[in-house]
Copies of this chain bind each other. A is one copy, B any other.
């Protein structure tokens, strides 16, 4: 099936580029100290000849694969349906590409597949791992820990007892939620409902905690669990409209659920924000601007979170500080601020 012609050698590349073998080797192995003009000539010769460095030999010298596993602990269908993941991956991809590291996205169908993912990352195919959208009790972190791989998490992991040296990047979910609810109180609303995300994820738990910080005496029937999907926002909003008395405001745990809630309110002839004010979370564009009415929401910089995750990991791999040092002494978490964005819905 494959016609295995002899591979071009390092020597052939050197001859073509008119440089020494050592220079080619340095460029191919990503060492510094080669003038850009020469490096460019080598890269052109590499491409023209279709030279593929012997990875095994190269790895022996550098002990690196220049490849980073990215593991989204969600089924592949959700990864492509929820723009949150695309945005975080974009940040990761830009940062890894800028450092000539290959992004290796390990897709799964369900949680049973996480054992296979653990086996792959333990198999010496990548230098480190970026893991996000963990659910509580997910076996993945333990498998990765046993593989001894440098790892940075997206979102605060919940390992039950907590572990030293765990590094993560997160948004200020609790503070952002407090801002959202205080904004609704400031509009004179009193029966404020909350549609939560999937409560086996810390982002959802933290946003619920923020809601409760402000609404300590909230009617518990005004808190309905969703799962971050638009359909769950619709379902939760229908439940909330059955309550007597009903809510005069809704804080949804993300924009996709808020968009679902807005659709149901419109179906039922409720005016937004007059009858029911709605606030989301994420500031997922263009969705947040295209809802009817446009959505007031809590902005988090999702792409920047991805970029930071990659940056912390690469710093660790390059020996310029462990991720936990880079993330700040005494803390494994780098927590980014959120901002309330006012549009028409609240």
- Count of identical protomers in the assembly: 2
9 new A-B contacts at CB < 8 Å, known A2-B148, A7-B146 = A1-B151, A4-B148, A47-B115, A52-B143, A55-B119, A66-B116, A81-B86, A94-B109, A102-B117
Q: When each residue 48-86 of chain A gets 1 if its CB lies under 8 Å from chain B and 0 otherwise, what string results?
A: 001011011001000001110000000011001101001
Task: Confirm or deny: A213 has a beta carbon within 8 angstroms of a beta carbon on chain B.
Answer: no
Residue of B nearest to A150 (CB): B1
Q: Does A276 reach chain B (CB closer than 8 Å)?
A: no
Given contacts A50-B142, A103-B106, A146-B7, contact A167 B93 (CB under 8 A): no
Tell me which residues across on chain B come within 8 A of A97, comparing CB atoms. 108-109, 113
Q: Roughly how many angstroms separate A65 CA and B59 CA in the complex, as a whole number?
A: 18
Q: Does A233 contact B (CB under 8 A)?
A: no
Cβ of A65 to closest chain B Cβ, rounded Å? 7
Say yes or no: A107 contacts B105, CB within 8 Å.
Answer: yes
Point out the residues of chain B lying under 8 angstroms from A143, CB to CB.
50, 52
Task: Choose, from A120-128, A187-195, A250-258, A263-271, the stretch at the interface.
Answer: A120-128
Chain B: CB-nearest residue to A322: B1
Interface centre among A5, A67, A94 (most CB of B within 10 A): A67
Cross-chain contact B65 with A145 (CB below 8 angstroms): no
The reply on A89 being an interface residue by CB < 8 A is: yes
CA distance A24 to B231 in the complex (A): 42
Known: A2-B150, A107-B93, A139-B50. A65 touches B125 (CB 8 A): yes
Q: Which residue of B lies closest to A164 (CB)?
A: B3
A3 close to B102 (CB less than 8 A): no
CA distance A151 to B76 in the complex (A): 22
Of the residues B1, B59, B102, contact of A116 by C-beta under 8 Å: B102
A122→B51 CA distance, assembly (Å): 11
B50 touches A3 (CB 8 A): no
Q: Which of B89, B124, B139 is A55 in contact with, Cβ under 8 Å?
A: B124
Contacts of A163 in B (CB 8 A): 3
| A50-B142, A106-B104 known; A123-B5 Cβ under 8 A | no
The yes or no answer to A292 lying at the interface (CB within 8 A) is no
A149 CB to nearest chain B CB (Å)? 7
Task: Write out the residue numbers on chain B whose beta carbons fall within 8 Å of the beta carbon of A118.
Answer: 50, 52
